[in-house]
Structure 1
Amino acid sequence: MDILIVEDEPVVARQLEETLHQEAYKTVAAGSVAAAKHAMQEQNFDLILLDWNLPDGDGITLLHGWRSQKICIPVLVLSANITVDDRVHALNAGADDYLCKPHSSIELLARVRALLRRDAPLKSSKLNADDVVVDIIAREVGVAGAPVKLSLAEFDLLTLLMQHQGIVLTRFQLNEHISKDFDRISVSNLIDVHIRNIRKKLDRPELIQTVRGVGYTIKA
């Protein structure tokens, strides 16, 4: 996943990059409106983190311009402007989410993952890994052309892993994806149980790789 960070404070931009790199996201930093426009011309991005106040303009005007050009990349606005009117203004301009500064890394990553998850199914209705195929719209799984029945949680976990092939997802991230009981996420072993069941049902034990002490991944 490629993320554009539009932030004019070098220290803040570097902190954002370090946080995102820990989760294996690729980043490009732009410190101005002009630099952000140039980056968008040079590369495709999956998500944009956008500061409001920039040295050569403001992020909300930049965002409005992108939306008028039918650029539909998810945008998370990061701003010290904390009033309700500010948030409403950003959302009306086309922002998908709004996070006030200062913010915690945990909350930032949760917002990033939520936006990427929401956008991922729109890119393709079918995901492939070897001879395993997941149809997101039909909510069907097939192995070598034969249908396989998974539970709701198993299907959601397999889909998330296939959407992020080559990226190690932590047990916390996977648990967060399927659980609303946030108090138990850090101590539950439910993910390990679900992964074991998925491997057994697919009869492809090597498809989902265990990264000891971290989580799971499907190799790209």
Structure 2
Amino acid sequence: MKILLIEDDLDLGNGVRIALANQGMDAVWVRTLDDARRHLETGGCDLVLLDLGLPDGDGLTLLSYIRRVRQGMPVLILSARDALSDRLRGLDSGADDYLVKPFELAELLSRVRALARRSFGFDGEALAVRGLALHAPTRRVSVQGAAVELTASEYELLKMLMMRAGRVVTRRSLEEQALPGSQSGSNTLDVHMANLRRKIGDGYVRTVRGVGYVIDQPGSE
């Protein structure tokens, strides 16, 4: 899971980044609103950890931007503002959760996992959709209990699709996050996707023409 950490405090930011990495989460750490917006526009992430008191402005302005362009993006506010009015303002502005500083890293990790479960069905270790399973710590993939061997690129593509099961993932997002270095407009993604489909079998990955790909949830059309 890719996490965008927006925190200007050096000690706290580095501590959170290390804690996330130790849990197998890929964290990008930025310290300003400008850098955060730039990353959101050019890179990809699955969840945002947002400090409010940043050097170049209030984090709530970035939260408003996220809600305009990525309505479903999970956002957890990390802030020293502990008044009830501040917490209510953050939640009413669109945050999914609010954690007051100082906090224990164990509680932060627990809340991140809870958000991931609610948003993606991801518990930090395993994903499963209609008999297709992916175990993040071991990078093992199986179909109906039978192990499937994937390349690193195929694994990253499958993980992105499973974490967003039921939602279309655009070609651009897949290329930028799962296939860094590939050229937009090339057939690299199509080749990897064809190989992935061949290995996991038909009926899992659906093409949305002109947009991208999706793994449908049970009961969806």
TM-score by length of 1: 0.58
Cα RMSD for the two superposed structures: 2.7
Question: What are the residue-to-residue correspondences of 1:35-184 with 2, within 5 Å?
Answer: 35-121=35-121, 134-135=129-130, 141=131, 162=133, 165-167=135-137
Residues 46 and 74 in structure 1, CA contact (< 8 A), matched pair in contact too? yes
Residue deviations 1:150-209 (CA, integer Å, cap 9, x gap): xxxxxxxxxxxx3x633259xxxxxxxxxxxxxxxxxxxxxxxxxxxxx9xx664x68xx
- Residues 1:34 and 1:101: Cα distance change in structure 2 (over 3 Å): same
1:107, CA displacement in angstroms?
A: 0.5
Counterpart code for 2:31:
G
CA–CA separation in structure 2 for the residues paired with 1:76 and 1:100: 11
CA–CA separation in structure 1 for the residues paired with 2:67 and 2:17: 25
- Give the match's secondary structure for 2:44: coil
1:59, CA displacement in angstroms?
A: 0.6
1:25, CA displacement in angstroms?
A: 0.4
- Give the match's secondary structure for 1:114: helix
**Structure 1: runs of 5 or more not aligned:** 129-133, 136-140, 143-161, 170-198, 208-219
CA–CA separation in structure 2 for the residues paired with 1:51 and 1:68: 19
CA–CA separation in structure 1 for the residues paired with 2:77 and 2:145: 43
Runs of 4+ off more than 3 Å: none
CA–CA separation in structure 2 for the residues paired with 1:81 and 1:16: 19
Percent identical residues: 37
- Give the match's secondary structure for 2:5: strand
Larger-gyration structure (1/2): 1
Q: Number of residue pairs matched? A: 143
- Residues 1:85 and 1:10: Cα distance change in structure 2 (over 3 Å): same
Q: Which residue of 1 aligns with 2:24?
A: 24
- Give the match's secondary structure for 2:60: helix
Q: Which residue of 1 aligns with 2:7?
A: 7
- Give the match's secondary structure for 2:38: helix
CA–CA separation in structure 1 for the residues paired with 2:22 and 2:34: 28
- Give the match's secondary structure for 2:117: helix
- Residues 1:51 and 1:166: Cα distance change in structure 2 (over 3 Å): same
